[in-house]
Structure 1
């Protein structure tokens, strides 16, 4: 696993678990990690790679409360952990159920690690749009939802022309839904991304893309809503 540059000051690190992209925003020696992944040991490798190039992690954010994005939060203990308030509630209420589900399909080594990890709740809720300083740049935190989950958080990096969108947008597969999904809210979130997101979208799964992917998701989700 290596840090892969996707935009100026923005790198991704693709985790083996669910091929989820952890994203690093860095400037002037400071770094924000978005979605640290599933296993604390892998997130520790990511943190070591960030520090090896001379950056210091100053905060962590999760785009939503699904295990593959946030179970590794304990690797960043002591740092501010940012999330949509509803994501914090979801992780508190359903984290153990997600752990049990992962144990049902994980291989022996991964299952052992997931069984032992602490489920950490983010401690810095983001109930409304706000800015976060990372080095000399301003990053925008944009809570949306309910949409893909009860509370999704988008991270905008205007200096890089990139927005980190979690699973609101995917390129590795079609959009995924579960019991926490609100299709109508997701369609509204896609409209918000069309209006406010940067030109480059960095999804949780798959390669970065442009706004053309929004139309693809809008069509599929609109069809799902009509069928329901």
Structure 2
């Protein structure tokens, strides 16, 4: 696990959570900071927030790429700022957040299970149903809702000035693509087509090291047989 901000590109950093090398991401410029996927547990997100604020940046918004616990159960640590997500992700978290909690309790360590049992499930308040641009300092950050794909509502974050696209779990390097009951394989393949055409050269996956578009090719090869 990382307990520090790791540079990815100018204005973009990641903080690696221990659950499957999940990347919490910070986009920062001019004293403003945007957090993408604050992670797993409020205590860990609070540590990330303290590191951001200690250098003089102010968190102005949070974005959730999709409604899986390891990306968004830490939201209570940043619930005083606007939180944006795909409308379907908001609905999934509202409807199935408690079921996710129960699933986590079945495999988590006792320490993590205790923390998950106690945390409040916070629902993002600002749906992103169409492409939207945020300004973080002088940086333009583009939010693009996709899906259904990996989940019913995935969202990617483009930072053109940095040459980075934050892809959530549409792209992974720590493991192969992960599917569950909410996955739409055909939609995922269409999302990969969109990323190949529109994403920035450097992809920051939900789990693992940054990569290039070659990882899209890898994922497509694994997913295409499942679409038949």
Q: TM-score range by the shorter chain?
A: over 0.9
Q: How does 1:57-206 map to 2 (within 5 A)?
A: 57-206=59-208
Cα deviation, 1:69-100, whole Å, max 9, x if unaligned, reads 00000101121000000000000111001000
Corresponding pairs, count: 226
Contact preservation (8 Å) 2:20, 2:174: no
Corresponding residue number in structure 2 for 1:27:
29
C-alpha separation between the residues in 2 aligned to 1:162 and 1:77? 26
Cα deviation, 1:114-164, whole Å, max 9, x if unaligned, reads 000000000010000010010111100000000000000100000100000
Runs of 4+ in 1 over 6 A off after TM superposition: none
Unaligned ranges ≥5, structure 2: none
Secondary structure in 2 matching 1:201: strand
Secondary structure in 1 matching 2:158: strand
Is 1:209 aligned to residue 208 of structure 2?
Answer: no
TM-score norm. by structure 2 comes to 0.98
C-alpha separation between the residues in 2 aligned to 1:13 and 1:128? 28
C-alpha separation between the residues in 2 aligned to 1:81 and 1:118? 15
CA drift of 1:5 comes to 0.1
Corresponding residue number in structure 2 for 1:5:
7
Cα deviation, 1:171-220, whole Å, max 9, x if unaligned, reads 11100000000000000000000111000000010100001111110110
C-alpha separation between the residues in 1 aligned to 2:63 and 2:117? 23
- Worse overlay, 12-21 or 32-41: 12-21
47, 54, 57: which one aligns with 1:55? 57
C-alpha separation between the residues in 1 aligned to 2:45 and 2:218? 32
TM-score norm. by structure 1 comes to 0.98
C-alpha separation between the residues in 2 aligned to 1:19 and 1:209? 14
Secondary structure in 2 matching 1:98: helix
C-alpha separation between the residues in 2 aligned to 1:129 and 1:82? 12
C-alpha separation between the residues in 1 aligned to 2:40 and 2:177? 20
